C-alpha cells in the first residue's frame, strides 16, 4: 500500500466524484481509477460503489476512511516536526472555517492578510465546511485549528474552544412576502412555507429542525445548498425563507426583510477551536497565538 494511494482515496472519498478528485490531485481520471483499483485489490475489498450514477463509499470504504485520515494526519505531523528539527524557516498552517460570510463580526480575510505580512514564508491553507466536519478534521489532524460554531454541538473533550463572537438567529423573507409587513413571527406559523437550508449537518439547520419538531411539525425543505451566498440569493428571488444569523440577514440589503423569531431564542457563538491531543507545527502555533491576540482586541 502506497501513501499516495491513501491520499488519492481520501480525496475521492471527500469529493465522491472521480473527475473533481482527479482535478484536485492534478492527475488524470484514468490514473486515479487505476490507483484506486490497485488499492482495492491489495485490501481485498471494494471501497467505492460505482454501480449507480453517483460514486458512494461502501461499508468497507467508510471504515477505511477513518484509518486513512489518521494515517495522513500522523505522516504530516511527522514531516512537520522533522522540518522544525532541520531548522526550516518556512511553514504551513491549515485553518478550517465555516463559510467566511457566516463568520459575522470576525474579519478572517483581514486577519490572514495581517498574519501573511508578518510571516510571508508561511503557507496558509483554508478548508471551508460545516462545523460538524471541521471538528472531525481537527480530530484527524487534517486542520490545525478551526473557526466554527460552538452552539448546539457536542464537542470531543480534547477540543479546546475560545468563544469570539455571538449573535442571534432571525428569519429572512423576500421583500414581497406576505410576512414582510410583520416585525415578528412564530416558527409555528411557518409550517407550510418553503425553507432554504444549508446542507445536512449544519448547525443552523439542526437548531431549526429541533425547534420545529418541538412545535409539532417538520419544515418543508424547498432548497438545500452548500453556500451561504446561495441561501441569500434564493430568498431574494422569492424561492423560500431562511433562518440565518443576524449578520447575514442584515447584510443582504433591501431585497429581503428581517423578522424576529418569537419562539426561537438562540444565540450562535463562533469559537476558535483546536485539539489538545494533536501535535501542532510551529506555523500553526504561531498563527494560534496571533489570532488569539488580535481577536481578543476586536
**231-257 pLDDT per residue, tens:** 888 998 889 999 888 888 877 777 889
- What CATH number was assigned to the domain covering residues 1-71? 1.10.10.10
User: How do the domains of the chain map onto residue ranges?
Assistant: 1-71, 167-268
Split at pLDDT 50, 70, 90, the class of 88 is: very low
> Which of 30-34, 62-66, 246-250, 251-255 is predicted least confidently?
251-255
- Write out pLDDT tens, residues 102-116: 887 888 999 999 998
Is-same-fold flag (1-71; 167-268)? no
DSSP collapsed to 3 states, the chain: CCHHHHHHHHHHHHHCCHHHHHHHHCCCHHHHHHHHHHHHHHHCCCCEECCCCCCEECHHHHHHHHHHHHHHHHHHHHHHHHHHHCCCCCEEEEEEECCHHHHCCCCHHHHHHHHHHHCCCEEEEEEECCHHHHHHHHHHCCCCEEEEECCCCCCCCCEEEEEEEEEEEEEEEECCCHHHHCCEECHHHHCCCEEEEECCCCHHHHHHHHHHHHCCCCCEEEEEECCHHHHHHHHHCCCCEEEEEHHHHHCCCCCEEEEEECCCCCEEEEEEEEECCCCCCHHHHHHHHHHHHHHHCC
Which of the four CATH numbers 3.40.50.2300, 3.40.1130.10, 3.40.190.10, 3.30.1180.10 does domain 167-268 have? 3.40.190.10
- What rounded mean pLDDT belongs to the chain? 86
Amino acid at each position: 500500500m502506497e501513501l499516495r494511494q491513501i491520499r488519492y482515496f481520501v480525496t475521492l472519498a471527500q469529493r465522491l466524484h472521480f473527475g473533481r478528485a482527479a482535478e484536485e490531485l492534478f492527475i488524470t481520471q484514468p490514473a486515479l481509477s487505476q490507483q484506486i483499483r490497485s488499492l482495492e485489490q491489495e485490501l481485498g475489498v471494494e471501497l467505492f460503489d460505482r454501480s449507480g450514477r453517483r460514486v458512494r463509499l461502501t461499508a468497507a470504504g467508510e471504515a477505511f476512511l477513518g484509518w486513512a485520515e489518521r494515517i495522513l494526519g500522523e505522516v504530516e505531523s511527522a514531516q512537520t516536526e522533522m522540518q522544525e528539527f532541520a531548522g526550516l524557516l518556512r511553514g504551513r498552517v491549515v485553518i478550517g472555517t465555516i463559510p467566511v460570510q457566516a463568520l459575522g463580526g470576525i474579519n478572517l480575510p483581514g486577519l490572514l492578510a495581517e498574519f501573511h505580512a508578518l510571516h510571508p514564508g508561511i503557507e496558509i491553507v483554508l478548508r471551508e465546511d460545516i462545523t460538524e466536519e471541521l471538528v472531525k478534521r481537527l480530530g484527524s489532524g487534517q486542520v490545525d485549528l478551526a473557526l466554527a460554531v460552538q452552539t448546539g454541538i457536542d464537542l470531543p473533550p480534547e477540543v479546546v474552544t475560545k468563544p469570539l463572537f455571538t449573535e442571534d438567529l432571525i428569519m429572512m423573507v423576500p421583500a414581497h412576502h406576505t410576512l414582510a409587513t410583520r416585525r415578528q413571527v412564530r416558527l409555528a406559523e411557518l409550517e407550510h412555507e418553503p425553507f432554504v437550508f444549508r446542507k445536512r449537518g449544519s448547525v443552523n439547520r439542526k437548531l431549526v429542525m429541533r425547534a420545529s419538531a418541538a412545535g409539532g411539525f417538520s419544515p418543508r425543505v424547498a432548497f438545500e445548498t452548500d453556500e451561504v451566498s446561495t441561501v441569500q440569493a434564493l430568498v431574494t428571488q422569492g424561492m423560500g425563507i431562511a433562518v440565518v444569523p443576524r449578520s447575514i440577514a442584515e447584510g443582504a440589503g433591501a431585497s429581503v426583510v428581517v423578522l424576529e423569531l418569537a419562539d426561537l431564542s438562540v444565540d450562535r457563538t463562533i469559537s476558535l477551536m483546536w485539539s489538545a491531543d494533536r501535535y501542532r507545527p510551529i506555523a500553526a502555533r504561531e498563527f494560534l497565538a496571533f489570532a488569539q491576540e488580535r481577536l481578543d482586541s476586536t
